Amino acid sequence: MADIATVVDNYIAVWNEADPARRRDLIAQTWTEQGTYVDPLMAGEGVEGIDAMVAAAQQQFPGHRFELTFGPDAHNDVVRFTWTLVGVETGAAAAVGVDFATVAADGRLAAVTGFLEPAAA
């Protein structure tokens, strides 16, 4: 398995990247060509689908960024990690989640499934 910490760091960077061209490059580096993401609220497939999904999330939560809060924890071809979406100026959590991902043989993400939890009060 590739350096999973780097893969997860790149994954978080995708969600935080505001420049569309840079974000698409990060997606292509981080996911396989047919890579997928799904959670209870959204889904995307391939570079364009994942990019559109991330752009929509950024529009919904301006002034927020994702932070890795646990992990990565990996075995075989599966990794899990937790994250918090926080307000840049307030530090308040808008969302908390745990993601599980399957890593392809080339070290990129093949599929990510996200679970959302209530944000910390």
Q: Length of the chain in residues, anyone?
A: 121
pTM of the model: 0.93
Residue 76, sorted as left (phi over 0), alpha (psi -120 to 50) or beta, turns out to be left
In the chain, domain spans: 4-117
Q: What is the pLDDT of residues 54-94, one digit of tens each?
A: 999 999 999 999 999 999 999 999 999 999 999 999 999 99
May I ask the CATH architecture of the domain 4-117? Answer: Roll (3.10)
Coil vs helix vs strand at 39: coil
Q: What is the pLDDT of residues 2-61, one digit of tens each?
A: 699 999 999 999 999 999 999 999 999 999 999 999 999 999 999 999 999 999 999 999
